[in-house]
Structure 1
Amino acid sequence: MTLRAVIYARYSSDLQSASSIEDQFRLCRERATRAGWQIVGSYEDAATSGASLMRPGIQRLQQDARERRFDIVISEALDRLSRNQADIAALYQNLTFAGTAIETLAEGRIDEMHIGLKGTMNALFLKDLAAKTRRGLRGRVEAGKSGGGNAYGYTVLRHMGEDGEIRRGDRQINEDEAAIVRRIFTAYADGMSPNRIADQLNREGIPGPRAGKWDKSTIHGNPKRGTGVLNNEIYVGRLVWNRQSFVKDPATGKRQARPNPESEWIVTEVPELRIIDQALWDRVKTRQEGRKIEQTDREAWERRKPRFLLTGLVKCGCCGGGFSTIGKDRFGCSNSRNKGTSVCTNRTGITRQELEGRILTILSERLMDPELVKVFVAEYIAERNRLAASHVDDRAVKQKELAKVIKDQDILVNALLVGTPPERIKAKMEQLETRQKQLERELATAPAPAALTRIHPRMADNWQERIRALIAGLTEPDREGEAREAIRGLIEKIVATPVPTKGRRMSLELTLHGDLAGILSLSLNVDQLAGQQKTSCEQEVEESVGFLVAGVGFEPTTFRL
């Protein structure tokens, strides 16, 4: 049988030639031709590091392997697939489980020995490469050159040296961008907010760093980490490197920044790159100090609970961005405020009191309309009947298979009794015994067929009692936290869309998208408020609601007000 083969190729740096991919493909195709394999596909990751599996090409390859679309993967070398020891081991295990082999031009057919030895060597190579790279970057920074990347306001130069080598890392001031930097510093020092500065720049069509839109965080950044235009010391002729280091999170494969102590910073004076005079820089720093928010416990600050009942649940109907506080007890579109009306035109705000009042009205008065409940109950009963029939059929199939497995074992026992050598039937007997135990476990743990459970006709009344009790709990100190979390759990999101009113003023139309499983479970839980235990019937309905909503396709409840 002809093996179905695919090719994987990768090169790691945008400084390398893209032709490297084609070279790898050509060599791998030649290997497949010699072996008589059929090429059925190819995957590539260009200018992508092999230190992580978070690459689109390798992810597609693994997905197709799970679907058994090919039999063997060809690559130039094992380090093209991954240089991370844990990742290459996991990739090998996943492909082996899918029945897929790995063949490389450098190592041949890959087995556990290659994974152990080459994986270790590649991991050491990465560590050594990182150390050499940092050493080289430090030397460039101490010489006043770029240590990687570039700052807005400068152009990176490449030119030929006297020895014929290309010189990289030199920078010169980009006068057009430098004028924007001076404008930002002056505007902020004069009292303009980063929001307004970003809005004006976007309105004028001035491209930001990397040709993107300006955002307030691009301007004010993080003073402690030196990020943002207002905090970059290169604008006053000081090149600061090694403020932070990066560590890869093994769970996600993504890098996380960690600040380094100031004693490890590398600082080089580059007065020829100064854009901002010292007096203007000092004015900006003075204003930043006056606006600083003291955070005595940063971790507690980040883990704090939502400040208001609906914090984080409101989305803009124009751009899809979030709503945040734009004034005292007032919410508005974050994108419109932070990036300006060129990004989102929704400037209509709403007070917290009005927002919460309208949403609680929807929950308490409009959500459990009797006609909607009637429709849901009918759909629920139909779906329960279908699932019950499917459950019975599945159980019957397993019982039938178990009977056949036991019968086949009896046949093998009879064969032993008439003199058949045991070694001829030992493997088959072991397979049957394993399958018998598996089927018996599945039948023992599967719930027995149950009669159709009906929803209580007072479901809507129960909801009214429960939601009103929760709303009342918002005003009671000892119940406020619990009531707030319960109400938030009923809401998937709230979409706020500006609409004109009769007086030509804009108002917000609120569309509440409810969490149907949470809403139904809450409506079935009223008896516990009175200290009563739920009946087995009510308990069974409540447990099935979440499965039905999530697995069968009931649409979220949506109300507009």
Structure 2
Amino acid sequence: MRAAIYARYSTDLQSDASIEDQHRLCRRLIDGNGWQATQTYSDRGLSGASHLRPGYQQLLEDARLNQFDAVVAEGLDRISRDQEHIAAFFKQMRFQGIPIVTVAEGEISELHIGLKGTMSSLFLKDLAQKTHRGLEGRVRKGKSAGGITYGYDVVRDIGANGSITTGDRRINEDQSEVVRRIFRDYSHGLSPRAIAANLNEEGIPGPRGTWGASTIYGNHQRGTGILNNELYLGRLVWNRQRFLKDPNSGRRQARPNPPEEWVIEDVPDLRIVTDDLWHSVKKRQEQTRNTAISDGIRKLGRTKRARHLFSGMLTCGCCGGGVIQVGKHYYGCSTQRNKGTCDNRLTIKRSELEDRVLSGLKEQLLHPDLIAEFAKAYQEEYNRLAGSIQQERGKAERDLAQVESKIANLIDAITDGMFHSSMKEKLTALEARKSELQDTINSTSDAPPVMLHPGLSDVYREQVTNLTTALRDPSSQAEATSIIRGLLTEIRLVPEDGEYTIELVGELAGLLALGASQNEQSRPEAACSTLCSTQVVAGAGFEPATFRL
């Protein structure tokens, strides 16, 4: 009688020798019955809850071809732990006239299928519950529940009992800077696809080698993707979803858990991005998703991003319609081209428009009143930061005194013979804290803050002069473009005497109006420079405002 042997073990944590041990026991049973051992089938490191195992599937295929007369295994749970699968396997072998014999149970009957199948299913359920409980305990201690997040390194330390700690992480400085760059670029208007392309072009390795748009954007509901991972904010969120196995494909399918089942722990030492940067990204994500109209149909082109500096912001000063790209390098009135109801036939070259606006901005921003306003705001912020640094130094000095006092008390206790192993860990932690506080104190000056920066005017002029360069530099283009577009709500192109006069509308116009003299604003031709709202905006005047260049 030809007997086939099947052996399996579940995880990589088990010894590979388990297969040979099972083979040895099965051959002993075969020899005892006077049978002949033929094929052997095995699956290493594969769960018995799945039937998608190479060795198991080959066993089924050879059974259909009558390659053997009996199946021998150490136990029924080695063949499968799923009730449905083990019942199907039993029916298939019974149809082929092939008995199933195990070392533990003997020849398998319907009774074994019912009882052992139920016991195996209960075992899997109990194992899942215990695993889930253990992972939750680790998360509540601020440790990782498995895997490693981009931006962090695994920390392996030896504990007091000699065991190696698991679940600890620390920030990877190089990767954390990439994370902050991704958040900044997205908040400044770059798409996830463009961010991924830039990172790949620069040869920066991603979590799985190369970067993709889905790696960056992910799924906001499930908290996946770089931009949705709250661990970068110093919050560890676990149990957002559970996994169920599809009975047809055998693949795991994610199902979201209700928020009340989530486990959330604060881990401030793992924070990478600031609150302001996080909220800026969330705001843009919300705006991107909020593109549906009342009937649920998405407006075509609503989420299309601007290809050029002022795309989508240009309007015709005659009809109020949009100004669009009418050629490869020119802008013109869309109403005149599409409907013919506007008399404005003028066009303007895109590069000329951008140069005129930027040149006009540089000229207006160098007005003495604006330089004075910049110096005032700069000095206020400089003094505020200097004051906070002094407060931080004072707090560090007080904390250092407390730490040194605790160290002295521990040393006195050890000297008096009151030593315990936990004292060593405490003393090590205090010494590390002492070194950290000393570094903080040494890095801050005890001199009073300078109340007047000597070169503020020169700094301001240099930044304004480099405005065009910043908008052309790939490293700063996204941020500079985002700032300018955020300060402007509209750019009107008004045809006058065969050429365009440009009017800026928005907060930036209000800022420029601060630099216009009263005499200039009193002239009729400069009426568009006056402010046209009663809502006060601190530091910039009124909003919205219109300014003519």
Q: TM-score, normalised by structure 1?
A: 0.50
Aligned to 1:228: 225
Per-residue deviation, 1:130:
1.2
Change (3 A) 1:105 1:224: same
Q: 1:166 is paired with a residue of what secondary structure?
A: coil
Change (3 A) 1:26 1:101: same
Per-residue deviation, 1:88:
0.9
For residues 151-550 of structure 1, the aligned pairs below 5 Å read: 151-209=149-207, 211-293=208-290
From 16, 19, 23, give the equivalent of 1:18: 16
1-structure distance, mates of 2:288, 2:234: 25
1-structure distance, mates of 2:75, 2:294: 49
Q: 2:114 is paired with a residue of what secondary structure?
A: helix
Per-residue deviation, 1:24:
2.2
| AA partner of residue 257 (structure 1) | A
1:308-363: CA deviation from partner (whole Å, max 9, x where unpaired): xxxxxxxxxxxxxxxxxx989xxxxxxxxxxxxxxxxxxxxxxxxxxxxxxxxxxx
Q: 2:166 is paired with a residue of what secondary structure?
A: strand
2-structure distance, mates of 1:110, 1:205: 58
For residues 75-94 of structure 1, the aligned pairs below 5 Å read: 75-94=73-92
- Please say if 1:52 is aligned against 2:50: yes
| AA partner of residue 165 (structure 2) | R
Change (3 A) 1:281 1:91: same
Change (3 A) 1:158 1:111: farther
Aligned to 1:550: none
- Please say if 1:108 is aligned against 2:113: no
| AA partner of residue 98 (structure 1) | Q
Q: 1:172 is paired with a residue of what secondary structure?
A: strand
Per-residue deviation, 1:7:
2.1
| AA partner of residue 49 (structure 1) | S
Aligned to 1:500: none
From 130, 133, 137, give the equivalent of 2:131: 133
Change (3 A) 1:35 1:181: farther
Aligned to 2:473: none
Larger deviation, residues 193-202 vs 129-138: 193-202
2-structure distance, mates of 1:277, 1:37: 71
Q: 1:123 is paired with a residue of what secondary structure?
A: helix
Aligned to 1:518: none
Per-residue deviation, 1:296:
9.6
Structure 2 unaligned regions, length at least 5: 306-549
2-structure distance, mates of 1:286, 1:15: 45
Q: 2:211 is paired with a residue of what secondary structure?
A: coil
1-structure distance, mates of 2:292, 2:113: 48
| AA partner of residue 255 (structure 2) | R
1:477-523: CA deviation from partner (whole Å, max 9, x where unpaired): xxxxxxxxxxxxxxxxxxxxxxxxxxxxxxxxxxxxxxxxxxxxxxx
| AA partner of residue 93 (structure 1) | K
2-structure distance, mates of 1:206, 1:32: 58
Q: 1:122 is paired with a residue of what secondary structure?
A: helix
| AA partner of residue 200 (structure 1) | N
1-structure distance, mates of 2:231, 2:215: 16
Q: TM-score, normalised by structure 2?
A: 0.51
Q: 1:80 is paired with a residue of what secondary structure?
A: helix
Per-residue deviation, 1:254:
2.1
Q: 1:291 is paired with a residue of what secondary structure?
A: helix
1-structure distance, mates of 2:152, 2:192: 21
Query: Which has the higher Rg, Structure 1 or Structure 2?
Result: 2
2-structure distance, mates of 1:213, 1:197: 12
Aligned to 1:31: 29
Per-residue deviation, 1:64:
1.7
Aligned to 2:433: none
Per-residue deviation, 1:32:
2.7
Aligned to 1:398: none
Q: 2:289 is paired with a residue of what secondary structure?
A: coil
> RMSD across aligned C-alpha pairs, in angstroms?
2.9
Aligned to 1:63: 61
1:403-429: CA deviation from partner (whole Å, max 9, x where unpaired): xxxxxxxxxxxxxxxxxxxxxxxxxxx
Per-residue deviation, 1:171:
1.6
2-structure distance, mates of 1:293, 1:37: 71
Q: 1:168 is paired with a residue of what secondary structure?
A: coil
Structure 1 unaligned regions, length at least 5: 305-325, 329-561
1:152-188: CA deviation from partner (whole Å, max 9, x where unpaired): 2222334432223332212222333223222222221
1-structure distance, mates of 2:104, 2:49: 19
1:247-294: CA deviation from partner (whole Å, max 9, x where unpaired): 222232222111111111100011111122222212211111110156
Change (3 A) 1:189 1:251: same
2-structure distance, mates of 1:272, 1:82: 45
Q: 1:276 is paired with a residue of what secondary structure?
A: coil
Change (3 A) 1:295 1:74: farther
2-structure distance, mates of 1:22, 1:187: 55
Q: 2:90 is paired with a residue of what secondary structure?
A: helix
Q: 1:275 is paired with a residue of what secondary structure?
A: coil
Aligned to 2:95: 97
1-structure distance, mates of 2:157, 2:103: 38
2-structure distance, mates of 1:69, 1:204: 56
| AA partner of residue 113 (structure 1) | L
Change (3 A) 1:259 1:180: same
Q: How many residue pairs align between the two structures?
A: 303
1:215-273: CA deviation from partner (whole Å, max 9, x where unpaired): 21111000011011110111111110111112222232222111111111100011111
